[in-house]
Amino acid sequence: MINYDIVVIGGGPAGLAAAIEARKNGIESILVIERDRELGGILQQCIHNGFGLHEFNEELTGPEYADRFIKELEDMGIDYKIDTMVLHVDNKKNIKAINSNDGFMEISTKAIILSMGCRERTRGALAIPGSRPAGILTAGTAQRYINMEGYMVGKKAFILGSGDIGLIMARRLTLEGAKVLGVAEIMPYSGGLTRNIVQCLEDYDIPLFLSHTIIDIKGKDRLEGVWVAEVDDKRIPIKGTEKYYECDTLLLSVGLIPENELSNNLGIKMDSRTQGPIVNESMETTISGIFACGNVVHVHDLVDYVTEESRRAGKFAAKYVKGLIKNSENIVKTNSGTGIGYIVPQIIRIENIDKKLKLFMRVTDVYTNIKLIIKADENVISQQKKKQLNPGEMEMVNIPLDKIPSDIAKITVELVKEGE
């Protein structure tokens, strides 16, 4: 049996930031477990820049951003194991894991930080009809082949879904000499960041077809083409709008799903909207001493926010180990009002908030000239005017602690039209 104070499961940006912050908060005995061949997670395949604008005030590539944290982790002497898979975690915080060097390991720890990230939604999950040839890949898998393995996946591509990875891969494929015929998005708005629409599609004259989807796939062995159709407001394909695109590659960027198999086995309570664990202000799950951060909790669009959120998990995991977390009598719930899809954290113990409460959220539709209102129970405590809000861009609000009464039951965030 190996003993640690804190074990971090997942060595991507979330796990790295959490481990480093836990050390800064005085915990010596920390282990980071990573299933891939190196630390850094998906950042290692994101060779484009645009990372770190909030965190470092400069534009870094994914690997550069990861390297800063990996260096810091190594300089601090924090233990980590790569190529290591966690097989099982029980609610007494015993972990079973394997790798080729250590064999089968049993690890006992005082606190766990879950930072396993997310996976991509697949063609299967969407049940897109048609044949099942080679040449259909999730955008992230194509990104791995191209950026890490050094192999091209096709010559003529169509992309379904306007998630950020799909947009970035549209540009990447173009730069590698492939022709990208277009991006179809079933919703009437893009799922990705505006800057990616501009820099990855518009700059390369790649058309974005909003309210369109793929209705059929052709090709026996290798993909030969896709049928694309416009959809109505119920997302049902409209007859007569079908158009065929001859292509050998179809990339899917149709959403990310937090990877919570370990969390589910543990019996941690999940939020059906985020598909991640319900967490409190300390990023602690419904099992005491088990924390979660990053894309395993909710899918972020900027790694900078992952880092920030994960620092909180690391800091409070350290406090937990030292017995410094305050257990409040009064549990405040966050409540998604009109226009708000979800809010993280879902639970707040006001005693543990330092100066201000930060809430992450996503809106349910595109809104322009709208007011974002925050209520403590029924009283408005803050409101902000917003020019535009998109479901593809995560919103956050900071509420100063002195504005939050201590005896409330819920904090509601909602959208109200200007003038109402």
Partner 1 sequence: MYDVTIIGAGVIGTFIARELSKYQMKILLLDKENDISKGATRANSAIIHGGYDAKTGTLMAKFNALGNPMFDKICDELKVPFKRVGSLVVAFDNEDMETINKLYERGVENGIPDVEILLGSEIKKMEPNISRKIIGGLYSKTAGIIGPWELAIALAENAMENGVELSLNTEVQDVQKNEGNYRLISNKGQIDTKYVINCAGIYADKINNMVSKESFTITPRRGEYYVLDKGIGVDFMSTVIFQCPTKLGKGILLAPTVHGNMLIGPNAENIQDKEGIQTTYEGLEFIKNTSNKSSEDIPFNKNIRTFAGLRAHPSTGDFIIGEVEDAKGFINVAGIKSPGLSSSPAIAEYVVNLLLESIENFNLKEDFNPYRQKPIVFMELNDRGKNELINRDDRYGRIICRCEMITEGEIVDTIKRPGGATTVDGIKRRVRPGAGRCQGAFCGPRIVEILARELDKDPEQVLKDGEGSNILIGETNKGKLAYGEV
Rounded to 10 deg, the angle between the 62-75 and 13-24 helix axes is 30
Is residue 391 close enough to count as binding partner 1 by CB under 8 A? no
Is residue 38 close enough to count as binding partner 1 by CB under 8 A? yes
Is residue 52 close enough to count as binding partner 1 by CB under 8 A? no
Of 17-25, 94-102, 355-363, 370-378, the segment contacting partner 1 by CB under 8 A is 94-102
Identify the sign of the CA torsion 194, 199, 203, 206: negative
Binding residue (CB under 8 A) for partner 1 from 99, 199, 241, 286: 99
**What is the three-class DSSP state of 42?**
helix
Is residue 63 close enough to count as binding partner 1 by CB under 8 A? yes
Task: Indicate the Cα dihedral angle 238, 240, 242, 243, nearest 10°.
Answer: -140
CB of 99 to partner 1, least distance (A): 5
Is residue 328 close enough to count as binding partner 1 by CB under 8 A? no
Complex with partner 1: residue 164 or 248, whichever CB lies closer: 248
How far apart are the C-alpha atoms of 229 and 217, rounded to whole Å? Answer: 12
Complex with partner 1: residue 35 or 349, whichever CB lies closer: 35
Is residue 82 close enough to count as binding partner 1 by CB under 8 A? no
Binding residue (CB under 8 A) for partner 1 from 1, 57, 151, 239: 151
Of 60-68, 163-171, 329-337, 339-347, the segment contacting partner 1 by CB under 8 A is 60-68
**What backbone torsions phi and psi does residue 305 show, to the nearest 5 degrees?**
-70, -30
- Give the pairing type, strands 103-114 and 118-120: unpaired
CB of 19 to partner 1, least distance (A): 19
Is residue 144 close enough to count as binding partner 1 by CB under 8 A? yes
Binding residue (CB under 8 A) for partner 1 from 176, 377, 393, 414: 176
The three-state (H, E, C) secondary structure of 196-254, written as one string: HHHHHHHHHCCCEEECEEEEEEECCCECCEEEEEEECCCCCECCCCCEEEECCEEEECC
How far apart are the C-alpha atoms of 261 and 279, rounded to whole Å? Answer: 16
Is residue 59 close enough to count as binding partner 1 by CB under 8 A? no
CB of 165 to partner 1, least distance (A): 11
**What is the three-class DSSP state of 84?**
coil
**What is the three-class DSSP state of 293?**
coil
CB of 384 to partner 1, least distance (A): 34
CB 339 within 8 A of CB 345: no
How far apart are the C-alpha atoms of 135 and 123, rounded to whole Å? Answer: 12
Return the residues of window 8-27 that contact partner 1 according to CB under 8 A: none
Is residue 37 close enough to count as binding partner 1 by CB under 8 A? yes
How far apart are the C-alpha atoms of 367 and 35, rounded to whole Å? Answer: 40
# binding residues, partner 1 (CB under 8 A): 61
Query: Among residues 394, 195, 404, which one has the least CA distance to residue 309?
Result: 394
DSSP designation for 309: H
What string marks each residue from 216 to 255 as x (binds partner 1 by CB under 8 A) or -? xx--xxx--------------x----------x-------
Return the residues of window 103-142 that contact partner 1 according to CB under 8 A: 103-104, 106, 119-120, 122-125, 127, 129-135, 137-138, 140-141
Binding site for partner 1 (CB under 8 A): 35, 37-38, 40, 44, 47, 61, 63-64, 83, 85, 87, 96, 98-104, 106, 119-120, 122-125, 127, 129-135, 137-138, 140-141, 144-155, 176-177, 215-217, 220-222, 237, 248
